[in-house]
Amino acid sequence: MSDSDSDSIDVCNALLFGLTKFDLSNEPDDPNNNAPTPLPSTSPSSTSLLPPPPSIPLIPPTPLPLPSPTTSRAFTLTPSGPSPPPLTSLTSPSTGSFLTSSKLIKKGSIIFTEKSYLTSSSSEIKHCAQCYTSLEPSIPEVLYEELWPDSDFVGCESISSCGIKFCNDSCSNKFRLRLPSTMSCCNYSEIKSNFKNHHQMNVLNLSFDLFLKKIVDEQDSTIISQLCGEADDNIKDLNSCSEFYDEFYEGVKEFIEEDKGFLLFKRCLAIVFRNGFGFCTKSPFSEYYSNLIRKFGRDSEEHVNAIKSVTRTIDSQRELSERGDQDVIDSKVRVECNCLFTYLAKMNHSCTPNAEVRSGGFKDDVVDVFAVKDIKKGEEVTISYIKGIKGGGERRDWIKRRRELEERYCFVCRCEVCLKI
């Protein structure tokens, strides 16, 4: 397998409480030696649930604007610096929003890089509430503990500390800017504790943060309007989640009327249900593993013994650390997050996609979209929503894909392959 093959991303086969999931934890020296696993959002697309209005022509192509507060999170690196993605945003009554290439894009090229618009986490792993860096200390009895990433943190300053942590004062200050002026981090933490045992906890957490973001920054109304999701969408669990509105309205009532706030919260829920991603941030164990290799060399006696000691701590019955062991270790120290990406939300599904989402060990919630085929100018840029999809024309494969897409994303695929079945 070539380096490019080993770095390619299979789309993940599991949802994270209604959010699509991918992993941002890997880097070249990652013990898993495996690329992260992205999934797309359930944005309006050629598979939209909404019936198209009759006889409405395709809206003329509209090139993506130059970087601005609403688009600067997505960019393409060029010799002269960051530039707008080489994409054109189109809208059709039958397909919703989608993206096409504004030039020839060669296979293997990074089409664009995007930082998430909003990120949240329900993880019980110790982490920074602003940047979501894991703050878990080293595993007990680990050898060469000094090679484990720094886990120092800044805690809540109130007497009745709520347990929220930050990796530094800068993150602490940025976090407080996300909250309404009358809401403390303790109030915020208390409200989120109401979501804890709900099976859509991750959706609720991200929806609540989106709701607060809209209240704190009115400019975000423009971005929210670009994302698919309405308060009256027929989405399973939408109504049961919206019942939590009463739990926190008291803390925001001076900023928004009750009925208006309720409709806004339902819309935020619908947006997250249909566009949310789940991912895992970089594991401290992965960094520890890389530090071992840098200091002692791969497969050196020190490297092997250190990994054995970690494995025995996790499971005393195992003598050697295999990939499964490393996954278990990572799951105990890395942070699961939920987020929204505004450009990825416009990308449609195809059973024979020409692009895929990857990450290369980024610490922040940033992903790259790569071309897996040559993409002609004017061709739609698509990704697959399903792991390991072959795009075969056999009816058995088609039925399996169709069932999975309907069950998870609530649409019937009408890509070129499926239409031929």
More confident residue, 316 or 86: 86
Q: Is the pLDDT of residue 4 over 70?
A: no
Q: Is the pLDDT of residue 105 over 90?
A: yes
pLDDT at 393: 52
Label residue 392 exposed, middle or buried (CB < 10 Å: 0-12, 13-18, 19+).
middle
More confident residue, 113 or 59: 113
Coil/strand/helix, residue 192: helix
pLDDT at 197: 84
- Report residue 132 CA to chain centroid gap: 12
203 contacts: CB under 8 Å, gap ≥ 6: 17, 18, 19, 237, 241, 269, 272, 273, 276, 338
Are 125 and 157 in contact by the 8 Å Cβ rule? The answer is no
More confident residue, 66 or 192: 192
Coil/strand/helix, residue 233: coil
Are 21 and 12 in contact by the 8 Å Cβ rule? The answer is yes
Half-sphere exposure of 215 (CA within 13 A, CB side): 28
The H-or-E segment that residue 290 falls in is helix 284-296
- By DSSP bridging, strand 96-101 and strand 355-358 are unpaired
Beta bridge partners of 134: 127
Q: How far apart are CA 108 and CA 106, in angstroms?
A: 6
pLDDT at 363: 56
Yes or no: is domain 3-116+341-420 CATH 1.10.3720.10?
no
Taking only the tens place, the pLDDT of each residue in 126-143 is 899 998 888 888 777 788
Question: In the structure, what pLDDT confidence band is assigned to residue 41 with cuts at 50, 70 and 90?
Answer: very low
Q: What percent of the chain has pLDDT over 90?
A: 19
Taking only the tens place, the pLDDT of each residue in 256-287 is 899 999 999 999 998 888 888 777 888 888 88
Q: Is the pLDDT of residue 57 over 70?
A: no
Q: Is the pLDDT of residue 242 over 70?
A: yes
Question: In the structure, what pLDDT confidence band is assigned to residue 405 with cuts at 50, 70 and 90?
Answer: confident
Question: In the structure, what pLDDT confidence band is assigned to residue 409 with cuts at 50, 70 and 90?
Answer: low
Considering the chain, tell me which residue range(s) the CATH 2.170.270.10 domain(s) occupy: 3-116+341-420
pLDDT at 265: 93
Q: How far apart are CA 162 and CA 155, in angstroms?
A: 9
More confident residue, 226 or 42: 226
Taking only the tens place, the pLDDT of each residue in 197-228 is 888 899 999 999 999 988 887 666 677 777 88
Q: Is the pLDDT of residue 82 over 50?
A: yes
